[in-house]
Chains A and B, each alone.
Chain A
Amino acid sequence: MTLNATLKHSATALALALGLYSALPQPALAAATEQFFPLATYRVGAYASSGIPVWAGMIDYLRYINEVEGGINGVKLVWQECETEWTAEKGIECYERFKHGLEGAPVAVYQPNGAPAAYALGDKAAADRIPLITLGYGRTEATDGSVFPYNFPAMLTFYSEASAFINYVAEREGGLDKLKGKKIATVYHDSAYGRETQAPLRLLAEKYGFENIQIPVADPGNEQASQWRQVRQLKPDWVFLRTWGVSTPVAIKTAARFGYPVDHIIGDIWASSNEDVLPAGEMGKGYLALTPYPGGASFDIHQRIKQHILDQGKSDLKDPKSFGSVYYNSGLVNAAIAVEAIRAGQKKFGNRPLNGEEGRWGLEHLNLDDARLKEIGFLGLMQPLKLSCDDHEGGGAAKVQQWDGKQWNLITDWVQADRQTLRPLIDAKSAEYAKEKGVQARKCAVEQ
């Protein structure tokens, strides 16, 4: 074969190869314009009944953003699920799989969706510069963004939840000064989550002079006679129910059995869903609960999602009865915070997919005031939220809802926590963490 012929053959082969390559789909190039939303879900196992409506809410909102709004400023969203069964080890596995993005589409924010995974991922995510959003769970001291730059316990930490509970009780009793001498019991899941409100309640009890009674319920909490017998004996004026999963309906039923008035039990964020009260049947009537994302499908965003997603048969919801349930709404709120954080970040970095560092900047400059909440259809469903380097929580308020046997009815507007009183406790804990881990605190005043 001559040199010419060889060159000719090589050129032909190269042209063919290039032709074939260009004919193939180009996922990497297409994905470079997309933003990846990793979904660490739990659709099987003990907590599946709570998780399934949450993911439906999240996915429906992401789909709504893509199909109705054309993405976030034109950047389409892609998502993928990974099953964690609400465990730390699978939560870490999912994070490791997702942290590099999906075919070029980067991760801007990560939601571990579970306290065990949130605790396990704290240091890892900081090392990878990926911000974690832990709405309603996780480390309270991460409110201090100078020590925890990549951890956002947005909207309502457990400390704020405890304070909002006390403020609501005070409102019912006729003022904070009327708390003196009252007995307030906390029946709590005996875990890191359950014990998290002990410090703020101790502080508030000292400040307002109420008797602070703590009664633990060991996991899973499917037999609570001895705890509620203690409640019956101690006769508290109010009970703060900080349970999770099966321990909530069992608590409500056992309380009723022991003659404790259900309308003086106030459930916390993880004891405030439809799934928590339905098994209690008639005994659950009158039960109160704090929530940063109330149940109900009458909010503006629900009308939009119903019109564009549900009625078009595009919803992830298997059971239409769950539309507007507390957990479905929590999915909407979680997704909205992530979407709005990316939108905030795009103002600085341009209308393109963001990476973790840019997502963190977006979160620290998130400002969802009433006007913006109205615009996106979340007014009333979600409290105004302004995050910063110094404050990774923002809001700190909850509404109180009451179960009427069929649905939740809101009985208050936002009940604000006394965040100023709690802040020294948070600062002390974050300083302790910084000392233990050798973390150099950021200078928020300079960075802002």
Chain B
Amino acid sequence: MNFFLETLIGGLLAGTMYSLVAIGFVLIYKASGVFNFAQGAMLLFSALTFVSLHEQGVPFALALLLTLLVMIIGALLIERLVLRPLVNRSQITLFMATLGLSFIIEGLAQGLMGAQVRALDLGIEDIPLFVGEVMISQFDLIAAAVAAVLVALLALLFNRTRIGIALRAVADDTRAALSIGINLNRIWQIVWAVAGMVGLVAGLLWGARQGVQFSLSLVVLKALPVLIIGGFTSIGGAIVGGLIVGAAENLAEAYIGPLIGGGITPWFAYFLALVFLYIRPAGLFGDRAIERV
């Protein structure tokens, strides 16, 4: 029973790390209907920028601030140079633009800051906590707390600020939002900047766990089943989706893995996502598309 509980709790906590990545996708998808393939590259770029600055002797807080600034400038440039010229193009065109963007950002990151693996110490001691005989990772607990704070802040932004209301208006109906004078370009700038900040938080936590290196950009693969299960348009959905994926893949690896040769975590999450697609195509909390026919 202890083993089951430990696997379940460990999985749920690991899932919040996936949710952090998924939230970045949700933000951009909500505002523009675009699946931002470059989210992983943004995560890599932000973590690399932070580590490079910190290695140069820039204090932790200042490095964090400067990285935020870099991500905001990056967001403004992406909006101006990539998205604005493509306004009114189809969603697949915008998706392809983000695909190209991901390669450019990855190349730039490695070209400017080097390809070597860097250690990232956030000062979080990963000494396990024991509740009875159940072991819980301190690092995962902190990551979960960070995710909770992030979701609360984003909820405040969306529900209690004028910018948030404008964002929701664009997400609900872009044309109606435009007709009442909401500046779409500005909204996109803000959303990409916020997604960049979320990418920074996710990049730092994932970077602390596995080192800051190219494979950080592959973390997005973990977010896809989370999005399918939770829905592409719901931040709460990203959290719930992350918890489901984390718990399910850990339990499956522990109990089903040994029966079929193991190593099932990467595909089991996608298998689960497929099952959800059959039952709830828009995900648990995603907006269902209702169209007049």
Which residues from A are CB-within-8-Å of B107?
Answer: 44
CB contact list, A196-249 vs B, under 8 A: 214-220, 222-223, 225-227, 229-230, 232-233, 245-246, 249
A340 contacts partner chain B, Cβ-Cβ < 8 Å = no
CA of A318 to CA of B119 in the docked complex: distance in angstroms? 19
* A48 on the B face (CB < 8 A): yes
Which residues of the other chain, B, contact A278 by a CB distance below 8 angstroms? 117-119, 211
A245 and B128 contact, Cβ closer than 8 Å, known pairs A226-B253, A229-B10: no
Indicate with 1 or 0, residue by residue over B253-266, a CB within 8 angstroms of chain A CB atoms.
Answer: 11001000111111
A316 at the interface (CB under 8 A from B): no
Tell me if B218 and A249 are in contact (CB < 8 A). Answer: no
The residue in A52, A219, A230, A256 that gathers the most chain B C-beta atoms within 10 A of its C-beta is A230
With the chains together, A44 CA to B10 CA distance in Å?
Answer: 34
> Which residue of B is nearest A53, CB measured?
B116
**CB within 8 Å for A222 and B250 given contacts A275-B116, A319-B116:** no
Query: How long is the Cα–Cα vector from A190 to B206 in the complex, in angstroms?
Result: 22
Closest to B262 in A: A216
Interface residues of B in 103-127 (CB under 8 A from A): 107, 110, 114-121, 126
A250 at the interface (CB under 8 A from B): yes
Most buried by A among B117, B137, B213: B117
Interface size class of B (residues with CB under 8 A): 35 or more
Say if the beta carbon of A8 comes within 8 Å of chain B. Answer: no
B30 within 8 A of A: no
A213 to chain B, nearest CB (A): 11
How many angstroms from the CA of A231 to the CA of B132 in the assembled complex?
20
Closest to A256 in B: B126
Contact (Cβ within 8 A) A257 B128: yes
Q: What CA separation (Å) do A219 and B120 show in the bound complex?
A: 22
**B6's contact among A219, A229, A257, by CB below 8 Å, is which?**
A229
Are B115 and A281 in contact, with the CB atoms below 8 A? Answer: no
CA distance A48 to B222 in the complex (A): 22
Do B263 and A216 touch across chains, with their CB atoms under 8 A apart? yes
* Residue among A44, A52, A222, A249 facing the most chain B CB atoms (10 A cut-off): A222
Which residues of B (1-45) have their CB < 8 Å from a CB of A?
3, 6-7, 10-11, 14, 17
List, in ascending order, chain B residues with CB within 8 A of A45's CB.
Answer: 214
| Cα A75 to Cα B253 with chains together (Å) | 56
Is B266 a contact of A219 with CB atoms below 8 Å?
yes
Please judge, given known A-B contacts A190-B262, A249-B211, whether A225 and B118 are in contact too, CB under 8 Å. no
A253 touches B (CB below 8 Å): yes
Contact assessment for B116 and A246 in the assembled complex, using a CB-CB cutoff below 8 Å: no
List the A residue with the shortest CB-CB distance to B246.
Answer: A223
Is B215 interfacial (CB-CB < 8 Å)?
yes
Distance in angstroms between the alpha carbons of A219 and B221 in the assembled complex: 11
* Size class of the A contact interface (CB-based, 8 Å): 35 or more
Contact among B115, B118, B215 with A222 in the assembled complex (CB-CB below 8 Å): B215
CA distance A253 to B115 in the complex (A): 21
Whose C-beta in chain B lies nearest to the C-beta of A283?
Answer: B126
A48/B214 in contact, CB under 8 A: yes
Confirm or deny: A279 has a beta carbon within 8 angstroms of a beta carbon on chain B.
yes
- Any A CB within 8 A of the CB of B209: yes
B274 interfacial by beta-carbon distance below 8 Å:
no
Q: Does A259 contact B (CB under 8 A)?
A: yes
Q: Which of A43, A217, A218, A229 contacts B115 (CB 8 A)?
A: A43
B266 touches A218 (CB 8 A): yes
Residue pair A220, B110 in contact (C-beta under 8 Å)? no
Question: Is B210 interfacial (CB 8 A cutoff)?
Answer: yes
Does chain A have a CB within 8 A of B139? yes
* Distance A343 CA – B28 CA, assembled complex (angstroms): 60
The answer for the CA separation of A52 and B115 in the assembled complex, in Å, is 8
Within 8 A of A (CB), among B130-166: 135, 137, 139
A271 → chain B closest CB, angstroms: 13
* B214 proximity list for chain A (CB < 8 A): 45-49
Q: Which residues of A contact B243 (CB under 8 A)?
A: none
Residue from A226, A229, A250, A253 with most neighbouring chain B CB atoms (10 Å): A226
Q: Once the chains bind, are B211 and A246 in contact (CB under 8 Å)?
A: yes
Q: Could you mark each residue 212-235 of chain B with 1 if its beta carbon is under 8 Å from any beta carbon of chain A, else 0?
A: 111100110010000000000000
Given the complex, which residues of A lie within 8 Å of B262, measured CB to CB?
Answer: 190, 214-216
List chain A residues, Cβ under 8 A from B212: 279
Shortest CB distance A262–B (Å): 13
Q: Are A246 and B115 in contact (CB under 8 A)?
A: no
* A259-B137 contact in complex given A190-B263, A220-B215, C-beta closer than 8 Å: no
Does B110 lie within 8 Å of A279, measured CB to CB?
A: no
Residue of B nearest to A188 (CB): B263
Contact B257 A226 (CB under 8 A): yes
A229-B117 contact in complex given A219-B266, A246-B213, C-beta closer than 8 Å: no
CB distance from B126 to the nearest CB of A (A): 5
1/0 per residue A176-198: CB within 8 Å of B?
00000000000000100000000
Q: CA separation between A347 and B30, bound complex, in Å?
A: 71
Report whether B120 and A218 are in contact in the complex, using a CB–CB cutoff of 8 Å.
Answer: no
With both chains docked as a complex, state the minimum distance between the C-beta of B143 and any C-beta of chain A, in angstroms.
12
* A257:B114 contact, CB within 8 angstroms: no
Give Cα distance in the complex from A48 to B109, angstroms. 13
Q: What's the Cα separation between A218 and B269 when bound, in Å?
A: 12
A49/B120 in contact, CB under 8 A:
no
Asked if B110 and A222 make an inter-chain contact with CB atoms under 8 angstroms apart, the answer reads: no
Q: When the two chains form the complex, which single residue of A43, A253, A319 contacts B209, counting CB atoms closer than 8 Å?
A: A253
Minimal Cβ-Cβ distance residue in B for A325: B116
List residues of chain B with CB within 8 A of the CB of A232.
135
- Select the residue from A43, A229, A279, A318 with max chain B CB neighbours within 10 A: A279
Nearest A residue (CB) for B218: A220
A222 with B219: CB separation less than 8 A:
yes
Q: Known contacts A48-B214, A229-B254: does B117 contact A279 (CB below 8 Å)?
A: yes
Chain B min CB distance to A227 (Å)? 7
Q: A190-B262, A258-B135 are in contact. Are A225 and B114 (CB under 8 A)?
A: no
Within residues 263 to 280 of chain B, which ones have a CB less than 8 A from any CB in chain A?
263-267
A283 vs B117: C-alpha distance when bound (angstroms): 16
Instruction: Give the shortest distance, in Å, between B210 (CB) and chain A (any CB).
Output: 5
Q: Which 6 pairs from chain A and chain B are nearest by CB?
A: A279-B211, A190-B263, A216-B263, A48-B115, A226-B253, A216-B262
Residues of B within 8 A of A (CB): 3, 6-7, 10-11, 14, 17, 107, 110, 114-121, 126, 128, 135, 137, 139, 206, 209-215, 218-219, 222, 249-250, 253-254, 257, 261-267
Given contacts A44-B107, A44-B115, A49-B117, 13 further A-B contacts (CB under 8 A): A47-B214, A48-B110, A52-B116, A190-B262, A214-B262, A218-B266, A222-B222, A229-B7, A233-B3, A246-B213, A250-B209, A257-B128, A275-B117
Q: What are 12 pairs between A and B in contact, CB < 8 Å? A: A46-B215, A49-B116, A217-B263, A226-B249, A226-B257, A233-B3, A246-B210, A246-B211, A257-B128, A278-B119, A279-B120, A319-B114
